[in-house]
Structure 1
Amino acid sequence: MAGKGEIAKGETGRPRRLAGVFYDISERKALEARLLAANETLEARVAERARQLAATSARLEETERRFHLLIDAVTDYAIFMLDASGHVISWNPGAERIKGYSAAEIIGQHFSRFYTEEDRQKGVPQTALATAERTGKYEAEGRRCRKDGTTFMASVVLNAIRDESGQLLGFAKVTRDITERKATEEQLRQAQKMEAIGQLTGGVAHDFNNLLTVMMGNLEHLDRILAPAQSTQRIIASALRAGSRAAILTHRLLAFSRRQALAPEVLSVNKLVAGMSELMRRTLGETILVEAVLAGGLWSTFADANQLENALINLAVNARDAMPEGGKLTIETANAHLDEAYARRHGEVEAGQYVAIFVTDTGTGMAPEVVAHAFEPFFTTKETGQGTGLGLSQVYGFIKQSGGHVKIYSEEGEGTTVKLYLPRYRGADDIVDDSEETYELPRGRSELVLVVEDDPDVRDYTVEMVGDLGYSVLSAADGASALRLLDSHREISLLFTDVGLPGGMNGRQLAEQALRRQPRLKVLFTTGYARNAIIHQGRLDPGVEIVFKPFTYSDLAMKIRQVLDDQLAGPLRS
């Protein structure tokens, strides 16, 4: 119950009467109780909802943290975001590793800077954005640019990002460096092509040998049974000579297809090369100087001596034809270790220890497209009638049949090096050749060498050779890229640069700028020309160290070590 009253007072101020009203508030109290209970329930629900939101927010923050950890841990892929117009708004460590830019350098920049000038002129970046916006996704493979100016083969995926209403917010971009994969695929295709050609030529040669056996046998039989007659004997003799030449061709085809009969033996390559000196001089003539650089302590190999000799003669003849005005042929031997990284880059190679033979000439060299086909049978750049195109294919087949590896390095106008690798023999009758020069080539002590060379094939060859000698290696294609590497790698000990470089800065100018940055830096030049920025009237400028192309393994080993160990080597003089 609830009540309300009023007191009436008299003239004297004393209370005279009380008037009051009483009413039932049971329903109101019940409503208040229900309202209080509802408030308490609502507050509990709000508190639970707040707790759930806090837990969800914490989970989202943890998920986002883990996502960023995942993105940052991925270094094989460049993962970054673009705004709707193509400007970079995020950048992961993988992007920095692959492209060379730090996040501070690249965020806010347009992604088209990663494309080659040719692709930018064609509008490829704009096409990529338009396709992703229209279809939701863009995928492609192509050349992309790094900060240092070099390029790489990239696999690119670009996805459009939209909000709930469908409004375009930007793009997610994933780039992977597939240069090594592409090179491996190309080598595999080449190996498969060579294998297919080998199977075809081997079958043809086998059948052709059978036909030649019948033809030449019958010709010899006719020569024996026919009465002597000058005209008849002349015809038969001519046919027999042609048959003999055909037999030589089939033998070369069988060599390429790896079906020739070999007679392998434990072999000292040094002794074989030394014993060929007179034969080489007669084969090459007086205008070509032949030099043998034979490594001491050379391992033995298990190979057919006659076929190896034939292979070296084939290489010497090719070198002679590339030096019509004369020149120098160097045959060098060395112990070599082809590691797992090399084996991965050259799919058909097994990692391990090899006896290496390097045959180097100072001839006209070959263009990259010629090198790519040089081992194919019947491929030749000589005039019609001057060669069969089987010499190098015979070398290739013999080395492969012997379990080895062969590689050509060439630069137009500079010369060619053919590198033969035969597996090291490890039997009980292994012979370590110490009859020749007993010095060991000087090796690196993990010093960092910067190789600057604009020709990609020569650069790859040089980087591989310097790495084989025990040095750490960086490489650049021009002076500007080299200076950026010098600024970011103060530990570089030696600058090894070609004199002739593109981009308005030759090797001499590069060296001068490099020495201003790092006065203690050692510099070694290379060139194939007798007249350039550091050679005048046939004389080297003062303070210049140089190794001439084509340089041999031992030339480079000794020269690099000499320059690094020379305490008196100082800055170049102007």
Structure 2
Amino acid sequence: WTEVRAYPSSAGLAIYFRDVSERMAAREALRTSEERFRFLTKATNDAIWDWGLDNDSLWWSEGFETLFGFQRSQVEPDIASWYNRIHPADRDHVKNDIHKALDGDSEVWICEYRFSRKDGSYATVLDRGYIIRDESGKAVRMIGGMTDLTQHKLAEARIREQAALIDQSRDAILVLDLEHQVTFWSKGAERVYGWTAEEAQGRVLDELLDSDVQVFGLADQQVREKGEWSGEIQHRSRTGTRLTLDARWTLLRGSAGEARAILSIDTDITQAKLLEQQFLRAQRMESIGTLAGGIAHDLNNVLAPILLSLEYLHTILEEPDVIEVLQTMEASAQRGADMVRQVLAFARGVEGRRMEVQVGTILKETEQFTRDTFPKQIAIELQLPEQLPSVMGDPTQLHQVLVNLCVNARDSMPQGGKLRISADRIVLPEQGIHLRLQVLDTGTGIPPEILEKIYDPFFTTKDIGKGTGLGLSTTLAIVKSHGGFLQVSSEMGRGTCFEIYLPASQQGGEESQASPGEEALPRGHGQLVLVVDDEAGLRQAAARMLETHGYRVVQAGDGAEALHVYSEHHQDVAAVVTDLMMPVMDGLVSIGILRRLKPGLPVVAASGLGSAEQEEQLVRLGVRHFLTKPYAARALLTALQELLEAP
């Protein structure tokens, strides 16, 4: 490039030529630079600004209008257009920060703050500026741009909220790569499994949690083939506890559809499964109770005529050998009746009547039971003093308590050992005289960490199918219902001792272990008794026994027949002995009708399956004497004597 200048002169026209290529190149470069700057401000979404520090002039790009809604022509032409729109809470901080950069030797200034929009809202912006200085280092110009971070900040806030929700979740949320290595481990996973995120990161999941291999393999195959899997799986926690999880696996894919990872959301259902098992066990126990009730009724009806007939034979036979056989038969039948009562009490929790109990007899029966049924390598010892206080209670339930404790002792001595059953009298401070029963074994002992759990319903350390977990909880409930308490001491490898404390009866004195003499059975005086029972064998046995002891008898097979028989003999019938559960018309209905026909008619009710509801109905009908089948001749004769000789 050449610059030409012409001037008139005395000699004519003077022309000057000067090379201005460098100047034109610089001008072209400046134009190109300014054009590039304009294109840049149009291309970016940022608000570009140019601040002249010598006069505080401020230029804004079109991005200022796009981001904030202000028209450039309508805002202040100087730095006030920026400063006045900074959020009041941020203004002083930003001003101090930028002047610190200008007054120092910084080349770049960066700051994050809130900037006003035309609609009154505030945008969060990231502002970056480049400081231009003169030869002396003084800041003369500053060029920069503002980036709107509002959406980015909102996204970050949503991510934080979602992360907080994930951390608050009780579920274990984890992400695995396709080799099952953990890449994400939520706070819920830490709570469920016990491993921290740092400890779990990078570990192979099925190795870390000792997963059920078969189920884990099936889940992995299905999630890869179908994209999802759900089901129950077992893992082991850091403490070694086996957990049951309801797991939902989802295959995570990339933008191209390729498999990238597996998301697993695991809900701990261990306690729920345990409750389900307990519920099923409770249902089974209820079913057993119903079945036991039916069986008990039938067996009691079978045993009742046997026992009554045996007692009848005692009265007509005198040969010693025959009497001994009869006693053996009677003892066996009575033991069968006791076994029926025990099964019924255990399965249905039948509440027996409280009576004065001579516990020495129960202890001897328990000793005999253990000797007959326990392995011979277990030595059994019974320690009974000469005198023991009696207690008020249910003998069947107390027998059940001792059997439960003895069975637990047996199970703790698989290789054999020693079982000692003992009783003594003890005086407790401020509580008075108590009977103390002890069941001591030399078994494996109870670990200290589970000692407080042994009375929990369904808690058991036995293998599946070998224990219900109800023995000790039932034992504790029975002891408490008798006003007593239970204590246990145990030492690992040495054995366990259970102590039962029952308050002594206030009605009786000390029981002696000597056998009482047999009293004569009460007799009638020719009174007519109506015997009602649908079991012919029992009805006939009862009639025979009553006739042998001074009564006259008429019989009926059900309630309806009883009313007919009574109508024929109503002037002579002195008392009625009736079963409660019969076809056509049951005992309760027939008793009600008979009592209306003859108020005050003496009635003895009997049933092979007594219940509290039946007893309440009998009380409302005025019946005070109830016998549980199989009943002994003495019980029936005594009841009749009390009724017929009452004033």
Greater RCO, 1 or 2 (C-alpha within 8 Å, sep 6+): 1
TM-score range normalised by the length of the shorter chain: 0.3 to 0.5
Bigger CA radius of gyration: 2
Q: Normalized per residue, which structure has more strand?
A: 2
Relative to the length of structure 1, the TM-score reads 0.44
